[in-house]
Structure 1
């Protein structure tokens, strides 16, 4: 699975050359986050065996965990039926996948017409990213 260039060419990239990438805990099935990948990020993810995304805000590759240490090791790679979304089953190193210091980015649930925070902050983001 190390050379994915031919398979990457078959994906339906958006106008910016990106595809959404869902990171899911490979053991529990919990959805940890959604980020974006360009072709280089996808190919490097497969080659290195760890999640590498395209940061739209930074305009650069982003190796998950490069600052926080919360790396995602790739266990399995799938695409959806339209070939326009990537699903990565990952081993989350550390308890935190979200930049807010939570386990998952999906920590808000709609209750009685309002978003309610359901998951606690496990580590202060400023401490997590060494900015304290």
Structure 2
């Protein structure tokens, strides 16, 4: 469990984070994404055919750091383990993301559907806290 002021609670007030996933050679590839934190877990979303989703399928670990409005990393990174959600857990994560980001919570999944794709939801845990 994370204690106050540590772990993912540091990202609770962040509207977006820089999510760096690893390619085949282990080089981090980053993208800005919305985040919603609930206790000792956080949720992010990606579309099914994205490079982020492909990299997370191969290697379910990443680094997150606070991000500026323009999507530039703005703080020290934290290593996280990533788990893809499905069913009830995915709906729960989608509700949390929509509650924190009402406009994005509607437009992003709609955009994924218009691209004939689906939204994939992921749960983040700090490394070693599973």
Normalising by structure 2, report the TM-score: 0.32
- Higher relative contact order (Cα pairs below 8 Å, separated by 6+ residues): 2
Structure label with greater radius of gyration: 1
> Which protein is richer in helix relative to its size?
2
Normalising by structure 1, report the TM-score: 0.32
